[in-house]
A and B are shown apart, each in its own frame.
Chain A
């Protein structure tokens, strides 16, 4: 399944286009990677900041429900930007990414992190002040925030290690 998907991508025109762009647009690889890092900065400034607020660590003067309403749209736009800039590299060399264990780690943290962000945003949109209404909800919010924080840190670290997987798995 993974092999056939990787092969299908490898033989697709999308791959030709990605390889052409990365090889011929001057500076595109570092530019796309910089945009990817700026997208991560926006994730840090939105969902991660909400997590830190839930944990009582940051921005004491702000209200968490208002923060969620104001900041979470930024999270989704940033994740879209990162999907596009990330896919550019994946499509160009599908086998390198599809069979890289570090990519597996990254996505096994990214998927739950995005799911938690969705839950935080969704429930707060449906019912204003959702996370502040009872001690049980406040506690769940703190647990979710702690898990989310750890996951996002893991996603960023794993993302950088993708390029070093040869080193991790085939060293010596």
Chain B
């Protein structure tokens, strides 16, 4: 694994040891779960609209715009608390397959979102209020749902295997 010294150095930081040996770890973990539930909830609402399943009375662009700040806010909290837990055993986590899978799924979820934002979202005016959304929007919504469910599962898997 590259940067082995870095991961080991990270684990040795006083902050990492403090988190690992005190109530900070479960505290961060509980905030992490709360943030992820909120994050996935807000994404779910947008994805179901893209799939043409729910909230059909609302314009897709408006719905997306109103939820995105919440999604990003929750994501930031999840990242900060996640890094806090990661640094307690960085060298172990980085080599742990479920952890690696979780990172790959997160990356794919990000790519899917970027692709949607820069390709499908550009001609949203044509289908913004339509109940039947274009196939590209439906694929983006379904992919996002599957990837985020995968992120949650991989995350829980880490807890059972490390």
Contact = CB atoms under 8 A, between A and B. Distances in A.
Interface of A: 27, 29-31, 33-34, 37-38, 40-45, 48-49, 58-62, 66, 70, 153, 156-157, 159-161, 163-164, 167-168
Contact of B30 (A30, A59, A157, A168): A157
B156 A156 contact: no
B38 A44 contact: yes
B153 A34 contact: yes
A156 B160 contact: no
Contact of A61 (B41, B42, B62): B62
Given A34-B153, A42-B44, A44-B38, A157 B66 contact: no
Contact of A157 (B34, B58, B152, B159): B34
A49 B44 CA distance: 12
Among B33, B42, B62, residue most surrounded by chain A Cβ atoms (within 10 Å) = B33
A6 B57 CA distance: 48
Contacts of A163: 26
Interface size class of B (residues with CB under 8 A): 20 to 34
A114 B29 CA distance: 24
A33 B31 contact: no
B29 A44 contact: no
